[in-house]
Structure 1
Amino acid sequence: MIYEATSFECSRIAQDLQIRKLQVEAVVQLFNEGNTVPFITRYRKERTGGLDEDAIRQILARLNFLKTSNERKQTILRSIENQGRLTNELRREILHAPTVRRLEDLYLPFKPKKKGLALAAREKGLEPLALAIWHSDPAIANLDELLPALVDPAKQLNTVEDVKTGVQHILAEMITETAEVRAPVRRLLWKASVLTATKHERVPEGQGNEYKPYFQFKESTQDIRPHRILALNRGEKDGALKIRLEWPMDVVTKEALSALAEHLLKVAGQPPQPTAPPQPSPPPSPEPAPPVPQEPPQPETIPPAVPVPGEPPAPDAPAPPTPPESPQEMPPSAPQFDLPDGTPVEITPAVPPMESPAHETPSIPSTPMELPSASPPFGMPPPPHASPLVDSLAAGLRPELTGECLVEGHEFRSPHVAFLKVCLDDALNRLMLPSLEREIRGELTDEAELHAVKVLAHNIRSLLMQPPLIGKRVLAINPGFRTGCKLAALNEQGNLLDHLSIYPFGGAPGEKKPRRERKKPDKAAPAPAPAPVEGAATDAAATPPVPSADAPGPESPAPTSEVPAPAPNVDVSSDVLPPAPAVDVPAAEAPPAPVADAPPTPEPVPVVDKVAEAKAQIIEFVKKHNLQVAAIGNGAACREIEVMLAEAIASDLADLSFVVISEAGASAYAVSPIAKEEFPNLEAGVRVAVTIGRRLQDPLGELVKIEPPSLGVGLYQHDMGRKELKEALEGVVESCVNQVGVDVNTAGVPLLRCVAGLNPMAAREIVEHRQSQGPFTSREQLLSLPTVGPLRHAQAVGFIKVPGAPNPLDRTWIHPESYPLAERVLTELGYTPSVLDDKAAHAEFRNKLNEIHLEEFAKHLDVSVPTLDDLFFALARPGRDPRDEMPAPIFKKGILKLEEMQPGMELKGTVLNVVDFGAFVDVGLKDSGLVHISQMANKYIKSPYDVVAVNDIVTVWVLKVDQAANHVSLTMIKPGSDRQPAERGQRPPRREVERQPPDRDQRPAPRGRGGPSRDASGPQRQGGPPQRGRRGPPRQGQGAASREPREVIPPPPPEPRKPKRDVPKPKLTQEAMAGKAPLRTLGELAAFFAAKEEKENAPAPVETKEANLVEPTPLEPQNPPGESPAS
């Protein structure tokens, strides 16, 4: 069972998701029955009302959140109850806490505390005084007379200042932990704070330039974009940036002071005792709650209340009654503690949750929360002594509050206003604001990571849903410089036929790479040890120069040629060495001379010869295995291999074409247990080549073997927690696999384990059964496996296909539970299931299906319309693969050079990655080009995901070429097309519709990702790339650039706005005109320039503003810091 949601919780979920409550209740019931998301989406539409997979997953997320939240509430209640401080009101507050933040604020005063200033002050017996001030006890109105009695050198309270400081620390912590103060300060910080970043002073000049856009950065916490948060976090982690939150301190203090006054007004007159006697269960509590706590303390408190103001000597101070009784005000050294006169104030007798500790502490000496050593000061005396406060409460009257107003115009008064303000400043600067800053930054990071997960999920869905390349033999190439290039020949099914290693750029197994000679001082004995491993160890122990000459000699000629000068010195010393290693020295010295002459000749000639030799090997390898397509990894030496292949195609391989494939995650796969199990005898480089080729042939089947975060198509995904990211992306992979379906006789364990209802154990058992018993012949045969029970079979069987099954229905998307209905439909139309195998008869059958009135036929068969709709669609297209509708990759026969690029040139490209500020497009250059969001359409668009997705084939035009930086800027706006200005009045409303109820009347248009449908992909856009992933049709004002006909606005656009802007300019003072007074508004600034230039044209600044809106300047770096263009 997931979670048994209440009716109220279902209503809240339905309201948030804009769906019906009955749909939420149905989904909750289906989850609790053990059904999976793909199964509910595909085969339970009649119960969910046609909800798509996205809505169902959101409901599941809400249920998991409610479950976790309720478990947290119960944990908090148990913790507070174990402390004996749980009141009925606090219980209600916790159970009805609307947010997690409110819940944690309520729990904050009761959390176990670390050793700190406030805890140390409590252990010295100063808490009762702080509580008396907190509750406005009139007995401690004159602190000048009370504080000296608390001076106790034995407790390190040597002076009155020490007492005041300790009480201040306690009150500062109490203010910080008060939810009623913390919440408004938090809200204000979210509204008014600004996140700033500067270059760290420890970063040397010229370094950290990848974070240069953030060296002088400042943006409101409400407006900052998620990718900037992640970039700032990365810069701070790398030590390049210093980040802090800035806020208007005077405004924050004013807000906190107002909230504190409101809270102190509530608690004023409440003795610090629990108002619910059953919870703390104090020893003396016979009848009524108020009188009972008063009686026990009175005998102990009365003496300290009157004598303490007198002048009890130091020996009297340690007595238990006195320290608790004496509060915390202290005016000896600070003038701000003078006690002014006060006026009576009404007191609201309410016990907020924050007061329960205060009540509990003085009334129960035996059960203080975490202060076992503070039993003496926790005696009853302090708060409930015989005082005007207690007398007025006993008489049912409201005690009078005297003193100054804490906030001007507020009811609350206190004789300790100055001291409370000092405590508030201490609480804000030392405790609350640093804590809230960490909290806000944490929430910003959480939101940014959540957004990054959505970006990654969106891109991975597009990556997994690439169309397969069927019926082609593939040459897979893993390019490389040092380790050579690994070639793999794959047949049509992706099986490895042969592999080959070529070394066009050096690094062949027989030759040794030259080593750079290191300068070795006299201490060279330890340094050369790792370099000369073969025979120079003994020489190194005797004389440093000898090993240095020996080591490079045999390895490469170049180093030996650099050491002719020291050679004589080495020879002199070597004359002394011959007795011991006489054999090594001459052997090492002999080769250097001849080898030193050889290097100049191999350097120029072999480079050309090796490339030609490698090209000949490729041609022979392609012809030997009749390969038709080449898949090149986009790693190191990719561009060089492209050039080589283009030359080979031009000369000998006219039928071959090539495409560049992303290598992201390939190296991780090569060393994974899955790869080692598949190819135990191959080296990692060859495994990488195989996976590159298979990614072209069957992207989904190959990419599911790799952890989604390693696919490199997200936004700073490597900076996030792997556990959370992995859990978030598992649903995307599961969705794609179940949307496409699997062939039970060819799919491997990585693919089968993603099928709804199956786990790795069941997937492995299917593969082992297939290997031992032969291929499956029916879906029902899966029930014979021990790990596949009826429930698991029901969940998974609809997404598993058996191509060679005798029953044609086993090759369709129809669930076995609907076989009787399918056979009845076929019978009603005069057919049998064999019609699905006859192409000619099937075409006629499809025409008949299209002529049937769906609602009437559903009524005739007594089934729901969604069920019959899906059945018709499965019968009409039994073998449909949703990936067939996706654009195929672009195959090339030549290369494009940066020198050939000219502004305005039209190109076709593949979208490699989509981020918040644009998309990176591969047009055949070495590096991908950036299409900024401002260049994606000739109208305002809110997000690049409304226009493109990963692997979309798009038409772009060259905007700008930077030869020096080796960079090209691209645009998706056709040159010469009218650009529509994004005027404020014409911008679409910024409302976010999470989702809309699906249209159930359209047929055949299956919804949900559980079956063969493309789900929320919608119809293809005219003149643009087909929609991908979960992107719905663009809203008004968004979408591809090709949609401009119905939204063209006749030029010139600025004119209609002129009358609106024709407003009188503000009058400027002489000081403002002279620059002595600040200009506070944009209107004053415009008036200043207008007056200075003696112009009366008011709309001038408006035109500048609109020009900026038409051609916005990208604020983001073209490549995110630390990310490659394609990642």
Structure 2
Amino acid sequence: MSSNNSIEKTLSSELSISISIVKEVIQLFNEGATVPFIARYRKELTGGMSDEALRDFHSRWHYLIELEKRRDAISGLLSDLPNVPKDVFKALSLANTKSELEDIYAPYKKTRKTKADAAIELGLWEFALGLWSEGSKQAQSLYAKVSPAFKQPVSFPAAMEGARDIILERLSQNTGLIKQAKLWLFKEGELVSGVIRGKKELGEKYQDYFEYTESLKKIPPHRLLALFRGKKEAILKLNIISGQKEAPYLLHNSSLMMPVGFPESKERSPSKEKINWLNQAWQEKILPKIETDILAELKEKAEESAIQVFQSNLKDLLMAAPAGAKRTLALDPGFRNGVKWAAVDENGRYLESGVVYPHPPQNRSQDAKEQLARAIKRLNIDWVVIGNGTASRETEVLAKQLIKEANLSCQCVIVSEAGASVYSASKEAIQEFPELDVTIRGAVSIARRFQDPLAELVKIDPQAIGVGQYQNDVKANRLSQALGDVVEDCVNAVGVDVNLASVSLLTYVSGLTERLAQNLIEMREQLGGFTSRAQIKKVKGIGDKAFEQCAGFLRIRGGKEPLDASSVHPESYSIVQEMAAKLRLEVANLIGNQGALSQLKLVTQSNDALAYTYQDILSELAKPGRDPRPEFHYAQFDDSVSEVADLQEGMRLEGVVTNVAAFGAFVDIGVHQDGLVHISQLADRFVKDPRDEVRVGEVIKVEVLEVDVKRKRIALKRV
């Protein structure tokens, strides 16, 4: 119980929320509520915490639980050992991180026998204590006094060496000393990288880091990850330097300079001899240890930053503007193997497909235009969308020509095809289109992604979409969890049409698992479509709790109950009915009725107990089923530019942001190679975070600053 109280107080203090809210949120999580459900439908209990805040709460809560479990485990292990000083247990109770706990436990967790262990086994402990407290001037007399108690004969020089081993090891195990040393080194230290002998040619891409030095406290996360990747690939060696060989003056403190297990010193300041011991321990043990620890901490922080970048970019991509219910023909361009095409209807259902060969070596452009024009007319296509891979600009020229020549009313646009090839070979794609060629499945995915990016991209492993920064250098399980959280939040923020959604999309709905999603689809097929949310309760495996969690995020268009098409939760239908009754209206006549809703707004302002719920209901009734994503907009690429060689300095072009990193943004300007707008070129003022200026999927105008055709590097400036 005391452990729980401690966790609650810590969360309240760190997150600046009341203890009562902390208790409510923990109870909701313990009852199995999801973050999207709590964020949307339990605002009164959380004080209106956002999904991001709840994710942070959940993560920190679990960390603190694990911290307490480990603290208890270590305490139990130490209790079973003889002669563990009381101050060790005190330090254990005050530790705030797992790494601090492990540092405290390290002296007692023996994985291998050290020189100090061997010296203690010989009986040199008392000699080491005396040498530390009385100094080396008394060494001979101390030796004569305690040597009879040695387990076996040990010469004076050997005894001195053994005592030294004990003192240095126990100094290096003092957690207070280590903590202060880390703080000092992080503040004053520099990270130095150099190329490993014989690896210059192999590691040419790391040439900027062959002789590189930067302050530890200033080095940015993306640069750290590049350095750690070079180290992992055995191209670079990394070291931390401090500018001095001896222990910093900061550590010359008698209360800090205490070997673990030694009696507390009564000296006001340490002797020169003890400082000498410290300097030896610093060089041989403390500095190597804290260097390793700091590098590990820097890597962890850099990985966390990379994950945050990936999460932000993925969210922007998933929440990109949908083109909507448009009949679409997608072209997956290529040269030798032709241009694959596939058409889908307004709801993304597959219609037809084929392959044309307008480009070299076949050069059957006229035949291709005729085939595609017939399909566009026959299927009443609204949009022709082209994947932005190989031959995309050549295919765009062809599409524009045929639209003009055949006098078609459809429009043409190039879109990102990232991840389409991954989907086309996936288990879900095979189940969905077992009769289609893998390349045609890719074209279908491109068409659907244009209509609704979120609904299509959830079928693809987020790591395969390619909007991250060093995603291959971070822990796979942590990245997977973080990206899964983003997808879940996005899916539930938009809501899902239960009669159109795929298994992949439904699996991310609050309260649903893959099995429940499959059961829901099976019942949907049996019913010929759901007509009310109440029917969802009859799906196998969906009990009261699962229904509570998922119902508000599942939409039913044109059903018996008009509120089923909204984000109003069924548990609040009675509130809406009371609202309608007050105005003597039917619920259906209340939806979208601005005049009636204005009257209700005045009535409900006085009810503080359900203030959040009332506000959300009124907002939803004003614009039922409103999609939180922006309006659809696309870039117009310059027809005179299709390859890197076509670019000239000073050109002004329109492009689409494809990725945002800590150092800038990558932009597709239609030349098969993204250009980089460095953070310094994003605005005419200082920019701390590129995401403050641009987001993935945003259409921006840029100026070409520099072009390196050989290395395919394009430097851009936002205008």
2:127 aligned partner, one-letter code: L
1:210 aligned partner, one-letter code: K
**Structure 1 unaligned residues grouped into runs of 5+:** 271-346, 349-400, 402-409, 506-605, 837-841, 974-1127
Change over 3 Å in CA distance of 1:707–1:964 after alignment to 2: closer
CA offset digits 1:380-411 (Å, max 9, x no partner) = xxxxxxxxxxxxxxxxxxxxx8xxxxxxxx54
Determine which of 265, 281, 294 is the counterpart of 1:440: 294
Is 1:177–2:173 an aligned residue pair? yes
Contact (CA 8 Å) 1:45, 1:51: kept in 2 or not?
yes
Q: For residue 242 of structure 1, give the secondary structure of its aligned residue in structure 2.
A: strand
Cα offset, 1:115, TM superposition: 3.2
Q: For residue 531 of structure 2, give the secondary structure of its aligned residue in structure 1.
A: coil
Residue in 2 aligned with 1:1110?
A: none
Residue in 2 aligned with 1:627?
A: 381
Change over 3 Å in CA distance of 1:857–1:269 after alignment to 2: closer
In 2, Cα distance between equivalents of 1:180 and 1:923: 55
In 1, Cα distance between equivalents of 2:278 and 2:288: 14
1:234 aligned partner, one-letter code: R
In 1, Cα distance between equivalents of 2:28 and 2:125: 54
Determine which of 286, 306, 314 is the counterpart of 1:460: 314
Cα offset, 1:140, TM superposition: 6.2
Residue in 1 aligned with 2:549?
A: 795
Contact (CA 8 Å) 1:184, 1:259: kept in 2 or not?
no
In 1, Cα distance between equivalents of 2:650 and 2:398: 28
Change over 3 Å in CA distance of 1:115–1:750 after alignment to 2: same
Contact (CA 8 Å) 2:532, 2:561: kept in 1 or not?
yes
Residue in 2 aligned with 1:876?
A: 622
Residue in 2 aligned with 1:230?
A: 225
Aligned pairs for 1:298-313 within 5 A: none
Contact (CA 8 Å) 1:658, 1:893: kept in 2 or not?
no
In 1, Cα distance between equivalents of 2:130 and 2:335: 77
Contact (CA 8 Å) 2:393, 2:670: kept in 1 or not?
no
Contact (CA 8 Å) 1:477, 1:485: kept in 2 or not?
yes
Is 1:42–2:40 an aligned residue pair? yes
Change over 3 Å in CA distance of 1:892–1:820 after alignment to 2: same
Cα offset, 1:149, TM superposition: 5.4
Contact (CA 8 Å) 2:246, 2:282: kept in 1 or not?
no
Change over 3 Å in CA distance of 1:499–1:241 after alignment to 2: same
Is 1:948–2:702 an aligned residue pair? no
Determine which of 156, 163, 167 is the counterpart of 1:167: 163
1:195 aligned partner, one-letter code: L
Residue in 1 aligned with 2:598?
A: 850
Change over 3 Å in CA distance of 1:181–1:767 after alignment to 2: same
Residue in 2 aligned with 1:896?
A: 641
Contact (CA 8 Å) 2:510, 2:550: kept in 1 or not?
yes
Contact (CA 8 Å) 1:137, 1:269: kept in 2 or not?
no
In 1, Cα distance between equivalents of 2:412 and 2:131: 81
Contact (CA 8 Å) 2:327, 2:343: kept in 1 or not?
yes
Cα offset, 1:503, TM superposition: 5.0
In 1, Cα distance between equivalents of 2:317 and 2:556: 26
CA offset digits 1:484-543 (Å, max 9, x no partner) = 4432222222122222234556xxxxxxxxxxxxxxxxxxxxxxxxxxxxxxxxxxxxxx
Q: For residue 809 of structure 1, give the secondary structure of its aligned residue in structure 2.
A: helix
2:667 aligned partner, one-letter code: V
Residue in 2 aligned with 1:867?
A: 613
Determine which of 430, 451, 455 is the counterpart of 2:284: 430
Residue in 2 aligned with 1:201?
A: 197
Cα offset, 1:461, TM superposition: 0.7
Is 1:489–2:484 an aligned residue pair? no
1:231 aligned partner, one-letter code: A
2:163 aligned partner, one-letter code: V
Change over 3 Å in CA distance of 1:197–1:793 after alignment to 2: same
Contact (CA 8 Å) 2:71, 2:92: kept in 1 or not?
yes
Change over 3 Å in CA distance of 1:643–1:168 after alignment to 2: farther
Aligned pairs for 1:562-711 within 5 A: 607=361, 609-610=363-364, 614=368, 617-649=371-403, 651-652=405-406, 655-711=409-465
Cα offset, 1:934, TM superposition: 1.7
1:869 aligned partner, one-letter code: Q
Determine which of 311, 327, 336 is the counterpart of 1:473: 327
Q: For residue 847 of structure 1, give the secondary structure of its aligned residue in structure 2.
A: helix
In 2, Cα distance between equivalents of 1:615 and 1:165: 88
Change over 3 Å in CA distance of 1:646–1:114 after alignment to 2: farther
Q: For residue 179 of structure 2, give the secondary structure of its aligned residue in structure 1.
A: helix
Cα offset, 1:163, TM superposition: 3.6
In 2, Cα distance between equivalents of 1:956 and 1:91: 61
1:954 aligned partner, one-letter code: I
Is 1:765–2:500 an aligned residue pair? no
Residue in 1 aligned with 2:659?
A: 913
In 1, Cα distance between equivalents of 2:57 and 2:225: 28
Determine which of 66, 76, 79 is the counterpart of 1:78: 76
Residue in 2 aligned with 1:827?
A: 581
CA offset digits 1:233-266 (Å, max 9, x no partner) = 112222332221111234535444x146744499
1:223 aligned partner, one-letter code: K
Q: Report which structure shows greater RCO (CA 8 Å, sep ≥6).
A: 1
Cα offset, 1:122, TM superposition: 3.6
In 2, Cα distance between equivalents of 1:204 and 1:265: 44
Cα offset, 1:219, TM superposition: 0.7
TM-score by length of 2: 0.91
Q: For residue 948 of structure 1, give the secondary structure of its aligned residue in structure 2.
A: coil
Q: For residue 908 of structure 1, give the secondary structure of its aligned residue in structure 2.
A: strand
**More helix by proportion, 1 or 2?**
2
In 2, Cα distance between equivalents of 1:71 and 1:46: 32
In 2, Cα distance between equivalents of 1:203 and 1:869: 63
In 1, Cα distance between equivalents of 2:484 and 2:140: 66
Cα offset, 1:945, TM superposition: 0.9
Residue in 1 aligned with 2:63?
A: 65
Residue in 2 aligned with 1:1116?
A: none
Is 1:725–2:479 an aligned residue pair? yes
Change over 3 Å in CA distance of 1:700–1:635 after alignment to 2: same
Is 1:938–2:692 an aligned residue pair? no
Spell out structure 1 runs of 4+ moving beyond 6 A: 137-140, 265-268
In 2, Cα distance between equivalents of 1:696 and 1:166: 73
Change over 3 Å in CA distance of 1:88–1:846 after alignment to 2: same
Contact (CA 8 Å) 1:646, 1:893: kept in 2 or not?
no
In 2, Cα distance between equivalents of 1:421 and 1:716: 44
In 2, Cα distance between equivalents of 1:682 and 1:112: 60
TM-score by length of 1: 0.59
Cα offset, 1:963, TM superposition: 5.8
Change over 3 Å in CA distance of 1:430–1:411 after alignment to 2: closer
1:191 aligned partner, one-letter code: K
**Structure 2 unaligned residues grouped into runs of 5+:** none
Cα offset, 1:202, TM superposition: 1.7
**Number of matched pairs:** 718
In 2, Cα distance between equivalents of 1:857 and 1:803: 28
Q: For residue 33 of structure 2, give the secondary structure of its aligned residue in structure 1.
A: coil
Contact (CA 8 Å) 1:466, 1:699: kept in 2 or not?
yes
In 2, Cα distance between equivalents of 1:6 and 1:702: 42
In 1, Cα distance between equivalents of 2:676 and 2:215: 27
2:205 aligned partner, one-letter code: E
Cα offset, 1:806, TM superposition: 0.6
Residue in 1 aligned with 2:506?
A: 752
Contact (CA 8 Å) 2:357, 2:364: kept in 1 or not?
yes
Cα offset, 1:815, TM superposition: 1.0
Change over 3 Å in CA distance of 1:826–1:894 after alignment to 2: farther
